[in-house]
A and B are shown apart, each in its own frame.
Chain A
Amino acid sequence: MLIVVNHIILMLADDMACNPRNPRPATVFNNANQHINVYGSDVEVDYRGDEVTVERLVRLLTGRLEPSTPPTKRLLTDDRSNVLIYMTGHGGDGFLKFQDAEEITSTELADAFEQMWQQRRYNNIFFMIDTCQAASMYEKFYSPNILAVASSQVGEDSLSHHLDSSLGVYVIDKYTYHALDFMEKLRKDSKKSMADFLRVCPRHQCVSTVGVRSDLFPRNPADVRVTEFFGSVRHVERTDRLVDLGDGDTETPVTVGTRVETAAPAPAGSYRYVAQFPVMS
């Protein structure tokens, strides 16, 4: 199961891989058996350390980024895009902690999604959250086409799966562990539905109760394939309409994939380099 790297925006506040306490430098494993290095060469961290703030996340979702932001740090979605949002960390009733200084509240997140909807930045959102009292984070959502799943109900703790005794740290949460287990068995042509995925980690495995919110989602999860959110499987539609790609001299927008770029205006006159060091007289 794979999503193309440049379609993932990864925000990591902690640099676990390069933390001096990590006995296996530059690696992060999914569990204590150390079979899968989840910090391999195919991982790109787009926002790291102090860059991971609530403001950045909301700006990223709503597209209100500085003009200089590179495309890899932008969401660049439109009304045909299915967006998967996965969050994990320390949560409480109605918030998720960011760094040690701030937190995003469920209301802020719901409002950000509503802005996205009004800006036509998504077709469907699948929202996954693995924190304590995780269900409180999706309760405030009010925008259409959102399917949400949470690892625990309000008032419940979300527990970790097991301890890595060489690290001295609990390495993976129960819900994420079982969700990952489910994913690992999938292929690109899998026919599994979202309803199957939402059944992952029943109470006897998770200890906490997995919460699902599907009232905003117009379709029956049993009819939605998992690959619509996971796996970069594009839905291709044929069209008979001729698309004018332009000839490069005009200033009309050129559509390339889902990204919109504006061609640079033709240079007026010739340019020359100025002296590298201005001569002071």
Chain B
Amino acid sequence: MNGPPSAEIVYRPRWRPRGSRPGAHRGRDAGGLGTFRDQVPFLSLPDARRIDLRATLRDPFEGVHVRRFETRVPVEIYALVDLSASMRYRGVADRIALAAELCAGLAASATRIGDGFGLIAADRAIRADLTLPATRHRSAALTLAGRLAAASCPAGGAEGMVEGAHSLLGRPKMVFVISDFRWPAELIRRLFSALALHDTVPVLLADSAEDEDLPDWGLAELEDLEGAGRRLVFLRPALRRRWIAREQERREALAAMAAASGARRPFTLVDRFDAQALSRHLLTD
């Protein structure tokens, strides 16, 4: 990683979080500080400091009105990172480094506005050494995100992701599921339904070497990183078209599964991490 991570990711939770701690997001509860929300009778909010004189004088029934303000509360951001063997892939970019860069960006962006950042890494089981409960402690979050780049991913299989999703208890959180989603469809469905309570953002780590950059002609011996054997492929334009169409289908299937469980539209991170593109995606979706 080069230099300090960019803290440019802008996000907005889909739900109105509750909470009494001051934070950066519009909360569900009304309080004494923040943006004006509405006026309520004095009896329902007996706060003499916020009496709205103008509204009180305007009331023909001479009731006393109190101004109510929106509280701004923090949320917790969790990155659920897949560390199955396929994350070792190096195409145009190093996939695990890309994931680490994204996590560092999230950690920096979240702690900057007082949100907590937590990380759960998992392959077949939760990787305790790369797991951190949500913290507003900036350097702790960044250190762990940095350690992720050097993580080894020996195991094939991502069943620990579901376990990690189940460990996210309590209030709704914003969860970034960072993976290449080279999983069985059933596992993806289980993960998304386990995360149905939360505001889930699937981040699909893609690489142009996987599809668009494939050469038109030639023999290539492919070896599966997850140990599914090796296979010789004779690349030619027709096969390349089929290959790219298949990858496209896979992404669409992922989007459909995410939508079915109420998760957001997947963000596809191709080749390099672009915080602005992610922000656009998060704000428009």
A and B held together in a complex:
no
Residues of B within 8 A of A (CB): none
List residues of A whose CB falls within 8 A of some B CB: none
